[in-house]
Structure 1
Amino acid sequence: MLEILKYNRNVRVISAANFINRLGDSVETIAYTYILYLLTGSSAVSALGLCINLLPSVIIQPLVSPFVERCSKKRIMVWTDYIRGLLTLIIVFESCKGSISYSLLMFVNFLSSSVECIRIPAGMSIVPQICRAQEYDSQASLSSLISSVTMICGTLLGSVLLGVADISVIYMLDCVSFVLSGSILMALQIKETEVIDQKNDEKYFQSLIGGLKYLKTNKVLVGLVILCAVNNILDAPFSALQAPIINGILGGGVGFLSIISVSGTIGMIVGSLLYEIFYKKFGKKILYISILSYAFLYLSIIMLAELDNETVIIAVFSFINIFCVIIQVWLSIFINSNFIKNVTPEYIGRSSAIFGAVASATMPICSFILAMVVDVTGIYAILKTAISAAVIAAVILFAKISPHTSLHL
């Protein structure tokens, strides 16, 4: 996995840019939902904040993908990083003025996520230009590893800043990371041709419809979409309600939240390093094991809530979280790697955007539903429902990938 860095200069450039970019993002991520929860004291607003943050991936990403496919991917990645840097300055200025509000915070994050939706298909489309087909697994594992390392560094830094610094400091760090990322990407050495002005180029809607038809007729991609959607549905309760779960059920504060985030990131790092080894040994069996791990995670939360010792809760849940995330990250790597393997280069931009929108739509939808029902049903009922759903999904997936059936993955 790491050998690709030795002989592929463009991979080194993108890896360095992503490291800086995601470091700032990780600091901001831990701050975002926690600040929303502190400003409002509402579990519903915390879940709604995640819903709004994810909404652009469903609405905007598929619409911009045809344009992205025909433009310079490098230029798009550079300028979207710069624009996101400028957007974060709004939070910095408003925080310095003392007029920050949860509505402004959610609005700016929505705009930033919208700009990111332009960058994502460009980042996917550029992979075949910098990697050979046999390097896709290594590139996917490396990307996951970088995300994990930056997340653990960002989480630690974010937890410290939340305790000693103002919101403006956190978002200024995010701003600097975007600007540095865009500047590093300028060093990419690839030949690209923009075809947006060619007379014989596809019309916009023809391009968009072509991507939809391609995704619909590719059975492997349909299977990956379903798998990703199921994963997002099961992940939604913990992602959308993480702050209320940590504060309300397990009785922890920002320090506990940081420790849990760090433990999860450790799991992502270990999982990224072990993926190729375990996939060669277990194959597609890791898929239903990954799904089943959500049931174990949520059951652990319910059981740990009965304990009174916060130190024991933190220690036990951290180990459980590491174990579960190690397994869950295999599913993400499997989806990303097999997506690139099974899409022809000219369709990667459109397909990745449409794929992301369809598969990721489940997360904001679930987050919105959770925001509507959490105050009525309570978090415990939601966790118990998620446990049942995970077990059912794992059983169905087990049946689908058994030797006597065929699953298009």
Structure 2
Amino acid sequence: MKMKADFYTRIIKTEKKFRYVIAANIVSRFGDSIDAIAYSWMVYTLTGSKAWLAVILGINMVPTVLFQPLGGALTEYFNKKKVIVICDFLRGFVVFLTGLFMLLGVLRPWHLIVLTFINSTIEALRIPNGMALLPLILSKDNYKAAMSLNQGASRTAELVGMGCAGLIIGSLGIGGALFIDAVTFILSGIFFLFIKVTADNASVYHLELDSYFASLKEGFHYFKSNDLAIMICFLCIVLNLCTLPIENLQAAYISEYLKLDVFAMSVGSTAVTIGMITGALLLPVIGQKISDKWILLNGGVLIGLLYFAYVLVGFVSWDIGRYITYFAAAFIFGFVNSLFGVTMQVLLMTRVPEELLGRISSIFNALACSSVPVGSFLLAGLSVALSIVQIYLLTGLFTILAFLLIGRLKGIKEIDVRE
């Protein structure tokens, strides 16, 4: 564990600019975890419909798929730090407006659609700029440790936020909880204001329509011609599809199969978050002993095996035992997911040219996220015909076979090729 502590001590001491990024992400993730609960409860309270929850979720994904590639191509033309700060302030304003409408009693479902779309569009512009900023303030040798520390700190803040959400909503109401989330966005933007970026050359480029479309085309051409970028994106799409049943059918799994109450959902969510924190913080140590390709391929196989473990939890005869075994399975799920996610993020940062990182990461995110609504639709159809156990067993088998076959693909070798 001393080696792990040394990694993060070095990051905190040497990467002074990155401290502000970590602080901003801690604050915003705390607010996001409160918002996730408050917003869902607000939608259901306002509409009384489960269908509206699905509609809002779908609306939330559309800007990511449509606008992130367009926003990624803009990172060359605007100061990345300024864009991040403006986006954080704007998102804070939109959330504040939502909370104000809620408190005044004038909020309507169509308001939610419009406000959600606006907020997600702003986020779609912010994400590629945030990704493109990191190589300008981080030493390349510290990418893996820095991203692991950031992920671990953010997930810890998320866990704290989840624990505080019920108390905050109970004492301040949904509107008050949204006001707190709005403040966290503002604070995040303020933290980024303190970062001094000297290597951002965006100001030397003037935005013209022809040059913009040329830049956009260059990003797509690089992505299409780069085996590593395609392989990482393909892995992410497959993982998203393979994890959907665990993430989307949690309530049905707990209620119908485990015969437990809503407290088990809290147990499972907490276990996943703790697992993700642990995985992120241990990645630099694990990465010294095993390769990135091993983590991605065997991590996928392990997630497939976890589906069988989730089924076995139902065979435990006593309730406390089911809670304990479910917590263990959910912890491992979060742990492996974290290793997988951070490893892919580090691969993109280290292997994509800095000037293309914003564009490539935005294309990557759009393609990866596009699989979620498609997979959710397929899962909804399967849920009508199959039981939870059947879906879990089929998904587990599919996941194992998928990652074993991916291991035989030619492009997978690119992951362990060092530049």
Q: TM-score, normalised by structure 1?
A: 0.88
Q: Deviations over 1:185-243 (max 9, x none)?
A: 11111123444763889622111111000111111111111111111111222333344
CA contact (8 A) 1:23 1:154 kept: yes
Q: Deviations over 1:264-284 (max 9, x none)?
A: 111111111221222222212
Q: Deviations over 1:69-107 (max 9, x none)?
A: 310110111011111111112331233234656665455
Match of 2:81 in 1: 74
State the 1:40 CA deviation: 6.8
User: CA separation of 1:270/1:309 partners in 2, compared to 1, >3 Å: closer, same or farther?
Assistant: same
Match of 2:23 in 1: 16
User: CA separation of 1:270/1:375 partners in 2, compared to 1, >3 Å: closer, same or farther?
Assistant: same
CA contact (8 A) 2:228 2:412 kept: no
User: CA separation of 1:100/1:303 partners in 2, compared to 1, >3 Å: closer, same or farther?
Assistant: farther
State whether structure 2 residue 272 is matched by structure 1 residue 264: yes
Amino acid at match of 1:360: C
State whether structure 2 residue 300 is matched by structure 1 residue 291: yes
Structure 2 unmatched runs, 5+ = 1-6
Amino acid at match of 1:92: G
**Aligned equivalents of 2:396 and 2:110: distance in 1?**
33
DSSP 3-state at the match of 1:198:
coil
CA contact (8 A) 2:34 2:165 kept: yes
Q: Deviations over 1:160-186 (max 9, x none)?
A: 445555222321221111011111111
Amino acid at match of 1:292: V
Alignment partner of 2:178 out of 153, 171, 178: 171
Amino acid at match of 2:322: I
Alignment partner of 2:94 out of 87, 95, 105: 87
Amino acid at match of 2:345: N
Alignment partner of 1:55 out of 62, 66, 71: 62
Alignment partner of 2:127 out of 116, 120, 136: 120
Match of 2:413 in 1: 407
User: CA separation of 1:195/1:189 partners in 2, compared to 1, >3 Å: closer, same or farther?
Assistant: closer
CA contact (8 A) 2:128 2:361 kept: yes
Matched residue count: 406
State the 1:246 CA deviation: 4.1
Match of 1:278 in 2: 286
**Aligned equivalents of 1:42 and 1:374: distance in 2?**
19
**Aligned equivalents of 2:394 and 2:204: distance in 1?**
48
Amino acid at match of 1:73: K
Q: TM-score, normalised by structure 2?
A: 0.86
State the 1:359 CA deviation: 2.1
State the 1:329 CA deviation: 1.1
Match of 2:4 in 1: none
Match of 1:96 in 2: 103
Match of 1:329 in 2: 338
Amino acid at match of 2:326: F
**Aligned equivalents of 1:246 and 1:101: distance in 2?**
32
State the 1:59 CA deviation: 0.9
State the 1:257 CA deviation: 2.6
Of 379-388 and 135-144, the range deviating more from structure 2? 379-388
DSSP 3-state at the match of 2:194:
coil
**Aligned equivalents of 2:114 and 2:246: distance in 1?**
23
CA contact (8 A) 2:75 2:202 kept: no
DSSP 3-state at the match of 1:166:
helix
